[in-house]
Amino acid sequence: MNEDADKMSANLLPLSILCLVLALAPASGLQEFPDSPVTVKDGNLDSLVKLYSPLVIDCWKIGCGSCKLFSPTFDEMAKDLRGQVVFGKLCIDQNRKTKQKYHVSGYPTLLVFKNGILVYSHVGNHPKFELEDLIRSTLGLDSLN
């Protein structure tokens, strides 16, 4: 009888470890979505696009007045859509490969990725509710209203 109890006890330990790992893992199976924009660079763009879906990137330029005005709105959207969308910021002046790859010429430019693919780009600063609606409709997310 003791041998059976020892076998059962030995089998329960790996099971309890597995339960603990599953309990601590994000439900989506992906990295937990941050509530503030991540820093995007030429060197990490591809890995971020694979890690997070969907991903919305603000391509901004140093000295761009519209970009400065847009930055707080973008930060708010990251909080509003946490758990549904990851937001990132990329300085075009320091990341020319991305600028060329995605033909970014106006600022700010939003690049919207879903399942690793660029599905939409948007140029300009617009009211937050318009941008959130645009992002939701582009990505097929439920509206808050």
Q: Where are the beta strands (DSSP E) in the chain?
A: 38-39, 55-60, 86-91, 109-114, 117-123
Kindly report the pTM of this predicted structure.
0.76
Q: Which of 141, 120, 119 is nearest to 132 (CA)?
A: 141
For 38-139, the fitting CATH number among 3.30.950.10, 1.10.1060.10, 3.40.50.300, 3.40.30.10 is 3.40.30.10
Q: What is the pLDDT of residues 71-120, one digit of tens each?
A: 999 999 999 999 999 999 999 999 999 999 999 999 999 999 999 999 99
Would you please indicate which residues are annotated as catalytic (active-site) residues?
64, 67
Q: Which pLDDT value is given to residue 7? A: 55
Q: What is the pLDDT of residues 116-128, one digit of tens each?
A: 999 999 999 989 9
Domain definitions of the chain by residue range: 38-139
Q: Given pLDDT bands bounded at 50, 70 and 90, which one contains residue 30?
A: very low
